[in-house]
Structure formats: C-alpha cells, structure tokens
C-alpha cells in the first residue's frame, strides 16, 4: 500500500460516509421519544384507539425487534401477518445496515492507523475532509427532490429495497400505517439528515486536525517531517 494511494483514500471516505449514515439512522429510528411525540402531534390515539401506554409498549417492541432483541412474537399481539412479514423485511435491511456499519468502522480504523503509522496524516486528513463534502452535496440534492414530492421518492425507495408490495398497507385496517403515517417518515427523514450532517461534520473536524498536525507517526508519537 502506498501513502498516496487514491483508491485506499476513497475507500476511507466511503467507509466513514456509510458509518455516519447508519449511525444517524439508528440514532433516530431507535428514539422512543420521537415516536411518542409523533403520536401526540398526529393524534394517533384517536386514530388507532390505543392509549399512550399501549402505544409506548408497541413502539418499544418495534424498536426492540429492529435492534434484533427479539423475534416476531414482539409484534404478534398487535399486527397482522402482512404487517409482521413487512417488518421482517425491514429487519433484514437493518441487519444489512449493521453489517455495513461494522465493516465500515473496521476499514476506517485500519486505514487511519495505516496512514498514521506512515507519517501521512496530512494527506489523509486533506482527502477525508474534502471528500466528505460530496455527502453534503448529495444530501442537498436529495432534500430538494424529496421536498418536491416526498411520496414519489418514498415509493421509489420501497421499490428499490423491497421485492414485494407488502409495504402497501391500508390505513383503514393496518395499525402499523395508522401509527406511522407519512408525516412520521417526513420528519424522521429530516432528523436523520440533520444527524448525518452532524456526524459528517465531526469526522471532517477530525480530518482537519489530522491535516493540521501534519505527519504523525503513531510508532514514535512525534511528527518527524511535514508534507
């Protein structure tokens, strides 16, 4: 591996980007307070006929299921077969995301340690800091598209990531869509975007610190030369 290998540096940028994205998704979709606030704002109690305590218990079960802390039995008391099967599909996406997060974290750590050991933190910091700006640009483009027609791009998302139409739930009969209407997903998408920017910015601050530090050899704990 060479100090200036652009492929390795691009892998680092992609790994940090995926890591930040998955952490942002988990931070918000596991946030029980957000669910409860959404229920209150959208008057979900009257729509579902469930009181606050019942909605909180159901939400905790959903979050536990998505985290992998239980099987479909967590959902069986409140959701029908179609809803449960769809949630199993959603769980598979979360499992994939967790795998991507672990691989990304591993790759990022290995590459960062390599560049530090090669007294090349300056070039690494420059590439990482500037490269992560691509995410900001993509996020702005995505935000513009989603704001113009959320339902359109929400549908495209489901058509890409799901091989069936079980996600097409009936708001008249299916509790899951009654609890989680479109407004729930609009706002959580915004929150994920904000969290994503937060983690990207934090990574860029670290990259800037590497860049300013210059060449740093973790073996000798000093900076013998600068690029």
pLDDT-derived band at 172, boundaries 50, 70, 90: very high
Note whether residue 61 is domain-resident. Answer: yes
pLDDT at 3: 55
Angle at 142 between CA 194 and CA 154, to 5 degrees: 95
Coil, strand, or helix at residue 42?
coil
Helix (H) or strand (E) holding 52: helix 52-67
Find tokens 């988990």 and name the residue.
Answer: 26
Render pLDDT for 217-227 as a digit per residue (tens, 0 to 9): 544 434 444 44
- Mean per-residue pLDDT for 29-51? 97
Phi and psi based region of residue 215 (left: phi greater than 0; alpha: psi -120 to 50; beta: remaining): beta
Looking at residue 223, its pLDDT comes to: 46
Is residue 166 within 8 A of residue 86, CB to CB? The reply is yes
Assess if residue 104 is contained within a domain.
Answer: yes
CA–chain centroid gap for 69, Å, is 19
Residue 79 is assigned to a structural domain of this protein = yes
Residue 178 domain flag: yes
DSSP 8-state code for residue 69:
S
User: For residue 201, is it within any domain?
Assistant: no
Average pLDDT, the chain: 91
DSSP 43: T
CB 39 within 8 A of CB 55: yes
Whether 83 is in a domain gets the answer yes
Mean pLDDT of 63-82: 96
Whether residue 218 is contained in a domain is answered as no
The answer for residues whose C-beta is within 8 angstroms of residue 168's C-beta and 6 or more apart is none
Number of domains in the chain: 1
> Does residue 94 fall inside a structural domain?
yes
Question: Distance (Å, rounded) from C-alpha 13 to C-alpha 208?
Answer: 14
Could you list the residue range(s) of the whole structural domain that residue 162 is in?
A: 6-116+134-196
Helix (H) or strand (E) holding 167: none
Residue 216 pLDDT greater than 60, yes or no = no
């Amino acid at each position: 591996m060479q100090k200036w290998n652009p492929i390795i540096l691009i892998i680092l940028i992609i790994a940090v980007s995926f890591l930040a994205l998955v952490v942002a998704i988990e931070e918000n979709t596991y946030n029980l307070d957000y669910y409860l606030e959404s229920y209150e704002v959208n008057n979900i109690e009257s729509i579902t006929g469930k009181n606050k305590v019942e909605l909180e218990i159901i939400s905790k079960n959903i979050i536990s299921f998505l985290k992998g802390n239980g099987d479909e039995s967590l959902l069986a008391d409140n959701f029908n077969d179609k809803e449960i099967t769809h949630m199993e599909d959603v769980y598979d996406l979360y499992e994939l995301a967790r795998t991507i997060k672990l691989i990304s974290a591993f790759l990022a750590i290995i590459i960062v340690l390599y560049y530090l050991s090669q007294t090349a933190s300056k070039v690494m910091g420059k590439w990482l800091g500037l490269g992560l700006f691509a995410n900001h640009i993509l996020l702005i483009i995505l935000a513009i598209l989603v704001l113009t027609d959320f339902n359109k791009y929400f549908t495209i998302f489901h058509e890409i990531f799901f091989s069936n139409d079980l996600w097409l739930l009936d708001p008249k009969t299916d509790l899951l869509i009654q609890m989680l209407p479109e407004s729930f997903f609009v706002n959580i998408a915004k929150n994920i975007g904000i969290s994503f920017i937060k983690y990207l910015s934090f990574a860029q601050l670290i990259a800037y610190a590497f860049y300013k530090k210059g060449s740093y050899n973790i073996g000798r704990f000093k900076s013998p030369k600068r690029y």
